[in-house]
Structures are given as structure tokens and as C-alpha cells.
Amino acid sequence: MIKKLKSTIDSVRPPDWLGYKSTWQDRVGWFIRYNIISRIPYPIREFYYEKIKTIWKPQHSRIRKAVPRYWWDLDHVLLVVNFEIIKSFYEDEYKANIVDWEGTGGDALKFTKWLEGAYKYITEDRPAIEKLIEKSYPNYKRVEKLEQDMELQDTTVLIELVKWRKYMWT
């Protein structure tokens, strides 16, 4: 009887090629995934994953948090959101070694150098420039010069982001 029971349990268990010992929870999960969910028609599953699931767990929530709930001019929203995209990609994917560099193409090294430079500008250099602007406020010529330099660097980073966008996938 025990041998028969063991053989029925082994028939439910997938082959153990990697030495992984599955638990009963794994087998229940596999059963639900392959015998129940796979029988639900694709349009219903797609509707769930694209419309229903995103109500409770929206995608790119970090980038969504960069958009304020109060009024900003669109040029500033564009700047803040795109800088958050760069920071998110750098911190969540590049630093975690999730990026598939073989699939990105030949200029991956140039892209990584640009990404590190853009991240450094966004997190270190730009806040330093903003502090310099605040400190030099009685001198309006210096403030104007610093703001023009910062705007030029911001524009350069945004243009390069558009040029390097095809490398920002994992």
C-alpha cells in the first residue's frame, strides 16, 4: 500500500533534474497553474493581468510617485519623471545585474558609461548646482548663468536618454 501511495505521489511530482525536492505546496501550485489557470481563455486572463491586477499593484509605481499630485508645469514634470526613469533603471536593474548585456547590442559599454554619468549628475551634481544657485541669490547674473548651465546639462541628459532608450530593457 505504501509503495502504491509513493508511486502516485511521484507521478504528480515533476522530474527532479536539479535535485530540487518539491513540497505538497509546490505540487498544488503546479496543479493550479497548469490545470486550472491554463484552461481560462486567454482574453479573460489578459483582462485580469492588464486591468484588474493593476488596480492593486500598479506597474512602475516608483516612477508614478515622481508625478506630483499638485500643479507643476509640464516641462518640470517631464524632467522629473525622466530623471526618475534613469534613477530607477540604474538602482533597480543596472546595480542588481539584471540587464542582459548580450541582448542589448554592441554599444553596451558606451551606454553603461553614459548611465553612470547621468546617474551621478542627477543624484550628486544637480543638487550641488541647486545649492549653489540658492547661495548666490543676491548676484542675479551668477544665478542666471548657473541656471542656464543646469538647463543645458538637463537637456543633454534628456536627449541622450532618448538616444539610449533601446538599451533600457532587461
Provide CB contacts within 8 A for 14, sequence distance 6+: 22, 30
Q: How many CB atoms lie within 10 A of CB 17?
A: 6
pLDDT tens across 32-53, in order? 878 888 888 888 888 888 888 8
Q: How confident is the model at residue 15 (pLDDT cuts 50, 70, 90)?
A: low
Note the residue count of the chain.
170
Range with lowest mean pLDDT among 52-56, 114-118, 156-160? 52-56
As given in the structure block, the three cell numbers for residue 62 are 516608483
- Exposed / middle / buried, residue 148 (Cβ in 10 Å: 0-12, 13-18, 19+): exposed
9 has pLDDT over 70 = no
| Sign of the dihedral defined by the CA atoms of residues 153, 159, 160, 161, in that order | positive
